[in-house]
Amino acid sequence: MDFFELINKRRSVRKFKDTKVPESVMRKCLKASVLAANSSNLQPWEFYWVRDPKKKETVVKACFSQNAAKGAKELVIAVSKIDTWKRNRNLIIEEHKKKNRFIPLVDKYYNKLIPFAYYHDFLGISGLIKRFIFLFVNIYGYFKPVIRGPIYKHELFETVSKTTALACQNFMMALVAEGFDSCPMEGFDEKRIKKMLKLNWQSHVVMIFGIGEAASNGVYSERFRVDDSLVIKEI
């Protein structure tokens, strides 16, 4: 399929046929999702393919039994994390060392800048300290472009969730390329999902996907987008 055809073909599908989604398709699409561009290559995501029938039931209920979840043949939960940076950073450094690419710039980036950006604590005290440091950075910023964040925990969550959303898009596009469909959902009770997945406060449930093959009435209406002139600007 031509790439632009694929983009046009992807729709949010809320009713699915009985067709099973082959395991190989699920694995291929999940693998495609983690190839997404991501901030500092820290890959701060987790994708939970819900296979256990009891857990599926819990997810459907947590999604308020909306059609996109109830009739889905498969369910996948995309989670962003602010606590995996250290593990992944170490793996990145290891890889650079193995390939003899651990140059001083990489050392400085992953051992100084990233810990400063990603370090956080439950109470948000590190955020207040960073806010104080950034007061001086901002003065410097009057004269030169400077990095101005992330400072607070919620800004860090923005960074990791932004990145995870890109992986989500890859996932949806990959499903279309394989002849299947999905509906991304943010209509769910996050607390219940986190409880089921035993996720801590350093995790955020970004989206849940209902997946299957579109039924003939699976797309509810013709696609509508506001006029390009409202959202695409040439400056």
Binding site for ligand FMN (CB under 6 A): 11-12, 14, 66, 68, 183-187, 207, 223
Least gap, CB of 169 to ligand FMN (angstroms): 9
Say whether 34 sits in a helix, a strand or coil: coil
Q: Which of 178, 181, 175, 171 is nearest to 15 (CA)?
A: 181
- How near is the Cβ of 23 to ligand FMN at its closest, in Å? 25
Question: What are 211's strand-pairing partners?
Answer: 74, 182
Cα 185 → chain centroid: 12
DSSP-derived 3-state class of residue 63? coil
At closest approach, how far in Å is the CB of 51 from ligand FMN?
A: 22
**Residue of minimal CB distance from ligand FMN?**
187
Please tell me what DSSP assigns to residue 146: -
Residue 208 CB, shortest distance to ligand FMN, in Å, is 8
Cis peptide before 104, with omega less than 30 degrees from 0? no
Q: Which is nearer to ligand FMN, 42 or 185 (CB)?
A: 185
Look-up of token digits 């925990």: 153
Residue 204 makes CB contacts below 8 A (sequence gap 6+) with 79, 80, 81, 157, 160, 161, 190
Indicate the residue among 151 and 183 with the shorter CB distance to ligand FMN.
183
Which C-beta is closer to ligand FMN: that of 39 or that of 66? Answer: 66
Nearer to ligand FMN, 12 or 39 (CB): 12
Give the pairing of strands 181-185 and 74-81. unpaired
Q: Which is nearer to ligand FMN, 85 or 171 (CB)?
A: 171
The residue whose two tokens read 């695409």 is: 232
Burial class (CB in 10 A: 0-12, 13-18, 19+), 171: buried
- Alpha-carbon distance of 149 to 159, in angstroms, equals 10
Q: How far is the CB of 151 from ligand FMN (least distance, A)?
A: 25
Least distance in angstroms from the C-beta of 87 to ligand FMN: 27
